[in-house]
Amino acid sequence: MDPEILRSSFAVVERRAEFAVKYFYSHLFRHNPELRALFPADLPQDMERQRDRLFAALTFVMDGLEDPDLPRYLRDLGRDHRKYLTQPEHYAAVGASLIAAFAFVAGSAWSAEAEKAWAEAYGSIAQLMLQGAGEAQHHGEPPWWDAEVISRTRHGDDLVVLTLRPQQRLTYSPGQYVSVSVPHLPCVWRPYSLANAPRADRTVDLHISRVEDGTLSTALVRRTHVGDVLRLGAPGGGLTLRTPADRPLTLIAAGTGWAPVKALLEQLDPAHEARLFLVARDIAYLYDRPAVERLRAGLPKLAVTFITPAPGRPKAQATERLLTALGNRAGWTRHDVYVAGPPDLVEEVGETLPSLGTPADRVFHDPLPPTGESRPRPVGAAEWLLDRPPATWHNPTGRAPRA
């Protein structure tokens, strides 16, 4: 593969990203109508998210062409894509439509060299993804796990904790997430973190906050009952405990970001020095305080700080108060830091911690996509260049510590 040709041609297409992605799907469904059933039906909002994910994934690959971890990412992506019932022949169809879209959108800027480079690059990508899917199948890993809801605890109108029992043992590490789907929305998947270490009875807990206009989160919070069966995708994510016992750590959790942090805390030895900042948009959303108190009782060296906005103040003040609290603490050069919560908060905290003294390679988080309503993309090339949206992606393995 020639990285320079790939990047220069991609830069041309990127200026008309919205049109390129629409052309891609139109071409794909026109020439392969049977594939339409693998995508959400009558859910234009989810189709928009699917379009965003495709182009963001391409951006991610372009940015990591020389990254030695890219092959592993692509193998795990192939492993994860089995939940969409993706077959080997689908990769060829997607590749043909992708190159057709790029050629059409690039116009006179497209060349035989660019087409050759993209054909070779996509062939390598597909080969690695198929390799990952084949390895998972060889090891007996199912495309998804059916899991029965055995307990449901509601916290207010918009938050629920579901306890699930997978029919097969789900092998995962505390802090990881799984993608979740419900039977009546079979093509819609969203990532949710597991809130516990593997239990002897196979049960796992999901903490789900309903997002306004969120199709799946609304179904899980308001229409899921004990006895229902959900589907869980392969576990992924890099927010797993890696701090030595002799090094202190800080855990920062906002909203349902408490779920993976709770799983990490369960792994700590009582002698481990740690501090927890638990952030909520309102005091009513500090929904799991009894569990926090139980953990604090078993971890004598755990210091807990609850952070909410002042009464009557906007929820954004919680982030301001968190940053102030972090600035008032010392010892950041010694700490590993684990952060989980809304992407905007994770980003802001990640930008602040190095200035406090935390080495950048000791700040850990998973770059999950926003779960709210996706931001509309600009429709014209000029608008795209002036107001380019941030790329989001679902990374089934998580990334290394924040660089």
What pLDDT sits at residue 126?
93
Contacts of 154 (CB under 8 A, 6+ apart): 160
Q: How does pLDDT run along the chain (403 residues), one tens digit per residue?
A: 688 999 999 889 888 878 888 888 889 989 999 888 877 665 445 556 656 667 777 887 888 888 888 898 899 889 988 998 888 999 999 999 999 999 999 999 999 999 999 999 999 999 999 999 999 999 989 999 999 999 999 998 899 999 999 999 998 999 999 999 998 887 788 899 999 988 999 999 999 999 887 888 999 999 999 999 999 999 988 899 999 999 999 999 999 999 999 999 999 999 999 999 999 988 878 899 999 999 999 999 999 999 999 888 888 889 999 999 999 999 999 999 999 998 889 989 999 999 999 999 999 998 644 333 333 333 333 333 334 344 333 333 333 333 3
d(Cα 55, Cα 288) in Å, to the nearest integer?
A: 37
At residue 31, the pLDDT reads 94
| Residue among 273, 280, 235, 282 at smallest CA distance from 253 | 280
How many other β-carbons are positioned within 10 Å of the β-carbon of residue 303?
A: 13
> 190 φ, ψ to 5°?
-140, 145
CB of 345 closer than 8 Å to CB of 319: yes
Separation CA 110–CA 12 (nearest Å)? 9
- pTM here is 0.80
The per-residue pLDDT for 214 is 83
CA distance linking residue 214 with residue 221, whole number of Å: 10
Per the CB < 8 A criterion, the answer to whether 165 and 228 are in contact is no
Helix (H) and strand (E) counts for the chain?
Answer: 12, 11
Q: Which residues contact 151 (CB under 8 A, 6 or more apart)?
A: 161, 162, 163, 226
Q: What is the pLDDT of residue 376?
A: 37
Quick one: pLDDT at residue 339? 96
Q: What is residue 183's predicted lDDT score, i.e. its pLDDT?
A: 87
pLDDT at position 194, please?
95
Q: Which two tokens stand for residue 219?
A: 């179904």
Please answer whether residues 80 and 396 qualify as being in contact, where contact means their C-beta atoms are separated by less than 8 angstroms: yes
Contact 106, 9 (CB under 8 A): yes
- Residue 338 pairs in a beta bridge with 251, 364
Distance CA 70, CA 63 (A): 10
